Structure 1
Amino acid sequence: MHAIRLHAFGPAENLTYEQTEDPVPGPGQVRIAVRAAGVHLLDTALREGQQGPAPRPTALPTVPGREVAGVVESLGDSVAGLWLGKRVAAHLGFAPGGYAELAVTEVDRVHEIPDNLDFAQAVALIGTGRTAMGIVQFAELGPDSVAVIPAAAGGIGTLLVQYVKNAGATVVALAGGPHKVGLAEKNGADLAVDYKDPSWPGKVRAFLGDRTATVVFDGVGGDVARACVGLLGRNGQHLVFGWSGEGVKDGQPYLVEGVSEQVLGPVMAKKAGGPHPIRTLELRALAEAAAGRLTPAVQRFPLAEAAAAHRALETRGTTGKVVLEP
């Protein structure tokens, strides 16, 4: 098979497109003919050898990537034959191997893809979608809610705009540049503004009139987060799930005591509850999409151009979920 391999930690150019051995499914595993592999901002930090929420690879060379969608084409021992030929999506957990034509994972991680989704959309939902479903657990949304969503044209932001709008709330979307602002508007935002324009907070206040924001869904941090928190009214929520604006590798989230709450990782899983909370969130995302309430935005790159995908993601040159297609 062909795969992207990382032989040494460092820049995007260290991702090379090579031929390597096909993986073999073990007991309880399936092998997926990959049609789409998800790219996460965390992947760029792991590529450089940084420690993050996922452990950095300890053995090189490695095949990066933890989100795949495709067709089950081989079964390990004890796996039911009904899985063969199924269109599926799976998050590989902390195990890498997604940037490839073939990927192996436990059958318990696999979800059948709804008929109305293509592979790229499905892979967006299995990672980004589950995160979005985890985030919205922490907010009570309704007609009186005013939600501010930075990075609204990104993978998570796109889904948050749709979900919050479907809940009847007013959506204020922030995006970088006219093109991304236009995407947020098309996605259903009541107001979309360019956060690169220093006057954007005033535009939001003028739009809201005597209302104030009730919740900020913050994956950006930095000066944008500070300005967003300034728009909150009494008892407003600042839900923090990332801080890309301050650097995914070395930055720290912007937090205000009594207002901010970090909602990633174990906190999100605990809120979802049940014996398999992450799988629960994945199922919620797929169900929302199957019902037509969520439509993920994706930006596609050929598998061989994984380095270009990483560079675009690091420089905020992407919209939606970044996906590699073999």
Structure 2
Amino acid sequence: MIPSAFTASGQFWRGNLHTHSTNSDGVLAPEEVCRRYQAEGYDFLALTDHFIGLYNYPITDTAAFRGDGFTTILGAELHSGAMKNGELWHILAVGLPSDFAAPNSPAFSPVDGQETGPEIAQRARDAGAYVAIAHPQWSGLTMDDARSIDAAHAVEVYNHGCAMGCDRPDGFHTLDLLLSEGRQLNLCATDDAHFYEPDHFGGWVMVKAEKNETEQLLTALKNGNYYSSQGPNLHHIEIKDRQLHVECSSVSAIIIQGQGSAAVAKHGHSMTKGQIGLGRFDASPWIRVTIMDAAGKKAWSNPIWCDEFK
């Protein structure tokens, strides 16, 4: 069994899915944001400004900044309704149409009568977007909150801006519990860059597609044909005879996680291949893979459902 990210045709393209500009609360103009990501070697970018009335509900048009091997996907960070803690929902939507209808969200506080978070997330997915539950730890998201977003394709498990700005970057606890409840979700790492602190070039996705084109990238994201990274590269994952085989860039650890406390790690020096038995995961409905390099930078596979290889 080989996960689809490693069987799909094409090559891996590096992109950031969560970014802000002066069209909302970022400090750089959209053109400069795109220029910097391209200069840093990214293949694509989604500029996801805050979709609220305070900023005139922007879906930033970045089409003019495509070219020379660099492309963009339109998107936004959506806000509507209150979470359990009373704060406004934050939902990442990549691949929105430019005419996506605005909610009644005048500012960063909930108001009576507006769409709920689950409703605006569903509307975004119905409009063709890849939808992710944004920065669960930063938001103070409860499991009841997370369960309510039926439209999500993924959970944002690493947010570099939240790592640098408040040391709350994590979404793995939320993801793992949802997986164990049977939710078929993927994961993503992002920047959430605003450029007023070192919140950029720290987390990204590597998307497998034949061409670096908006629709192909978006389809691959929805199909889970990607992995997420802070630096290391995953070249191949295969499960055969109850063994997981990994090929990757040079790392010091290969770790498999599953339901509850189930985990197995292989440690070494400059490893580019690894093999780990899966007996520890007999009771787990899912596994996922983490690799970590000598500097502590990680890359993460999407979850693999065990009924696909048991």
TM-score, with length taken from structure 1: 0.26
Larger Rg computed on CA atoms:
1
* Greater share of residues in helix: 1
More RCO (CA 8 Å, sep 6+): 1
